[in-house]
Structure 1
């Protein structure tokens, strides 16, 4: 892939990316942006569902979003430790797809895998741009423009938000594709995700939207200042 993609969004588990930024991804896909989703694990330790069902749900969700592709690194669930091997695997994906912008979960999340996912991506984001840094497939170095964080659990003051008013219904549709996670399946057990989780995510997006004068928005964080050109006077993104 010589030209590269626009967006590479990482998650520890399938559904992480969708919880945090499905509305934005759907919006950008409709605008023609090329999007890759990379799940680090197959969520094999999930209380409900199994690897096979999660694969099917992840594919359905990506299709609804309009993602160009979805890949999985098959790293161990609850084993996303900051090792050289894991960093190189993530850097390999970055070099392969050459994204303009990268997204990963907010580092301060109740689930340790989410924070570790960010830290792995943060390390790989830097290493992928080093010329002498070696990865499995010998892809040339690539330096993405920015690394942003999206929210999964909890609420943090965002550095910027994206208006998803026209895409909130699609976001809900995408989340509902994860039937094994947001509903208690036969033989399953209640979890935080089955106790009105989608409604709480939608409420958070509504609150972010209210802060900027739209109905729904998704919040993001940046580790460096954002350069505003025409956006300062409200012309939009």
Structure 2
């Protein structure tokens, strides 16, 4: 029987979750939360590296962050579509791990796959709670969903102070050498936005978000639901 997760994060590609919320992941695993990542694709269309290398890098990053689970649905890279089979695959992951909280990429981003991932997860979250949808599996209602930023940043509803774990986030991202390092002493290497100072821009983004609440580093999130409190 699969152990339930506190948090399940969806990304279109291995490294998306680490870019957007690696610090938040590290902070929660250190506090004893069970956190998992589900990558929708193997990023087989990436300009550098191979699927096999990317999977090894993802496993290393998972160890650094202390993940309780990591899965890959093997959906087509650059082929994410609002199709029933793709929504079903994501829905079944939610039902398998029964998370309290789900994270997905923010719905506006320069990469079309990140946008598609966001939309697919939102559809799956709705389906997951319908007991007559795929009735051979148990329905599950996620308590809260949030959206994290990868390339582009919007106004955040919520900030997480990741100052104490920012080093672990950058270490996890450093595991993806084929993506973020200019290891181009061979004919297969191609210059991309990811290997032209991208990690420095990730760090700058975390500093910018932290500045809003006067902390060195923070990660930002958006919620479609309003926050409810008893007292302020």
Which bin holds the TM-score, normalised by the shorter protein?
over 0.9
**Mapping for residues 128-139 of structure 1, pairs under 5 Å:** 128-134=128-134, 138-139=136-137
Gaps of 5+ in 1: 233-237
Once the two structures are TM-superposed, the CA of residue 157 in structure 1 deviates from its matched residue by 1.1
Residue 200 (str. 1) matches residue 201 (str. 2) = yes
**Mapping for residues 158-237 of structure 1, pairs under 5 Å:** 158-185=156-183, 186=186, 187-228=188-229, 232=232
Contact 1:184–1:194 (CA<8 Å) still a contact in 2?
A: yes
Question: Which residue pairs with 1:67 in the alignment?
Answer: 67
SS of residue matched to 1:122: helix
SS of residue matched to 2:122: helix
Q: What CA RMSD, in Å, does the superposition of the two structures yield over aligned residues?
A: 1.3
Question: Which residue pairs with 1:102 in the alignment?
Answer: 102
Question: Which residue pairs with 1:235 in the alignment?
Answer: none
Once the two structures are TM-superposed, the CA of residue 228 in structure 1 deviates from its matched residue by 4.0
Contact 1:11–1:39 (CA<8 Å) still a contact in 2?
A: yes
Once the two structures are TM-superposed, the CA of residue 156 in structure 1 deviates from its matched residue by 1.2
Aligned residue pairs total 229
Q: Give every structure 1 segment of 4 or more consecutive aligned residues whose post-TM-superposition deviation is greater than 3 Å.
A: none
Once the two structures are TM-superposed, the CA of residue 2 in structure 1 deviates from its matched residue by 6.8
Once the two structures are TM-superposed, the CA of residue 35 in structure 1 deviates from its matched residue by 0.7
Query: What is the TM-score with the length of structure 1 in the denominator?
Result: 0.94
**Mapping for residues 116-127 of structure 1, pairs under 5 Å:** 116-127=116-127
1:47–1:115 CA distance, 2 compared to 1 (3 A) = same
Question: Which residue pairs with 1:46 in the alignment?
Answer: 46
Once the two structures are TM-superposed, the CA of residue 195 in structure 1 deviates from its matched residue by 1.1
SS of residue matched to 1:212: coil
C-alpha distance after superposition, 1:142-184 (max 9, x if no partner):
0101111000002211111100000111111000000000013
Structure 2: distance between partners of 1:229 and 1:139: 35
Contact 1:48–1:184 (CA<8 Å) still a contact in 2?
A: no
**Mapping for residues 3-82 of structure 1, pairs under 5 Å:** 4-82=4-82
SS of residue matched to 2:212: helix
Question: Which residue pairs with 1:85 in the alignment?
Answer: 85
Structure 1: distance between partners of 2:205 and 2:181: 20
Structure 2: distance between partners of 1:118 and 1:49: 25
Question: Which residue pairs with 1:112 in the alignment?
Answer: 112
Structure 1: distance between partners of 2:176 and 2:5: 26
Once the two structures are TM-superposed, the CA of residue 12 in structure 1 deviates from its matched residue by 0.2
Gaps of 5+ in 2: none
